[in-house]
């Protein structure tokens, strides 16, 4: 994996209802961070316009819509997302091998048609809000969360995907099963000075970096801070101390 700048490894989750709110946050953060996650809440409100605005500001975008449907439908979604210029998108590993394979193939073909760099296509393994009781008794998957995550990670790798979204708690096992170059994108990151909110399987930024995370996704500890730019700088400093 290429040597990325520290700021390229931290995505801020723009979980807002309105585009003006999201763009105000981008303006507040300025050059401190230039990589953002756009999820369902914002994208379903604004559509592709928010991506156009972020790209116009020179930002990278992780489109977090978690595609999960029949293979042909997901391939079409991946093609459309690639045409919007996103740098990363995700699918649900629970959709199976063929669905994931078609998503990656469609994104590569769409990028090649325009001469663009293909986006990373990664798979969601288990949400960071899912604990073992929920997974076993409600979702109906037996065994430990870690075992389920590793099974999905290996399936995603076999399908040709670039990496996975997972809790930092499963990072060492993912690296052992899939290798150090298999991209790991870690949400549920909470600095010691921030509240856990609805996340159950969380790590601090430093702990995630020590475990080998490639990218971190952080929302409320930055976007709900009294001074978002200062919060972002503190997190970057914590990440940097581990890598120095």
> What gap in Å lies between CA 113 and CA 102, rounded to an integer?
16
Which of 60, 64, 79, 162 is an active site residue? 64
For the chain, strand residue ranges (E) read 10-13, 35-39, 60-67, 88-92, 120-124, 163-165, 183-186, 215-218
Which structure tokens are listed for 49? 């316009």
Is 79 designated active site? no
CA 112 to chain centre: 23
Q: Is the dihedral of CA 17, 56, 231, 163 positive or negative?
A: positive
Which residue in this structure is represented by tokens 């996704």? 217
Would you list which residues are annotated within the binding site for substrate? 15, 37, 64-73, 128, 190, 199, 219-220
Of the candidates 97, 96, 68, 63, the one whose C-alpha atom is nearest the C-alpha of residue 80 is 63
Is 101 designated active site? no
> What gap in Å lies between CA 201 and CA 188, rounded to an integer?
7
Is 154 designated active site? no
> What gap in Å lies between CA 75 and CA 107, rounded to an integer?
8
Which of 17, 31, 69, 162 is an active site residue? 69
Pairing of strands 163-165, 120-124: parallel
With beta carbons less than 8 A apart as the criterion, state whether 83 and 57 touch.
Answer: no
Which of 17, 20, 45, 66 is an active site residue? 66
Annotated catalytic sites, by residue? Answer: 64, 66, 69
């Amino acid at each position: 994996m290429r040597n990325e700048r520290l700021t390229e490894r931290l995505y801020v989750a723009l979980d807002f209802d309105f585009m003006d709110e999201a763009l105000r946050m981008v303006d507040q953060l300025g050059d401190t961070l230039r990589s953002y996650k756009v999820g369902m809440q914002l994208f379903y409100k604004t559509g592709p316009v928010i991506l156009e605005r972020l790209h116009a500001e020179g930002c990278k975008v992780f489109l977090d819509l978690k595609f999960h449907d029949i293979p042909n439908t997901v391939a079409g979604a991946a093609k459309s997302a690639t045409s919007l210029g996103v740098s990363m998108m995700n699918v649900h590993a629970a959709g199976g091998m063929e669905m994931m394979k078609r998503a990656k193939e469609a994104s590569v073909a769409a990028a090649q048609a325009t001469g663009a760099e293909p986006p990373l296509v990664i798979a969601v393994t288990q949400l960071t809000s899912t604990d073992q009781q929920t997974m076993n008794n409600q979702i109906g998957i037996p065994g430990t969360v870690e075992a389920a995550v590793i099974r999905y990670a290996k399936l995603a790798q076999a399908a040709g995907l670039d990496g996975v979204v997972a809790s930092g708690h499963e990072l060492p096992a993912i690296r052992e099963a899939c290798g150090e170059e298999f991209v790991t994108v870690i949400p549920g990151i909470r600095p010691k000075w921030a509240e856990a909110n609805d996340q159950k399987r969380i790590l601090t930024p430093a702990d995630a970096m020590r475990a080998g995370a490639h990218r971190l996704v952080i929302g409320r500890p930055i976007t709900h801070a009294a001074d978002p730019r200062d919060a972002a700088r503190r997190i970057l400093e914590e990440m940097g101390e581990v890598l120095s």
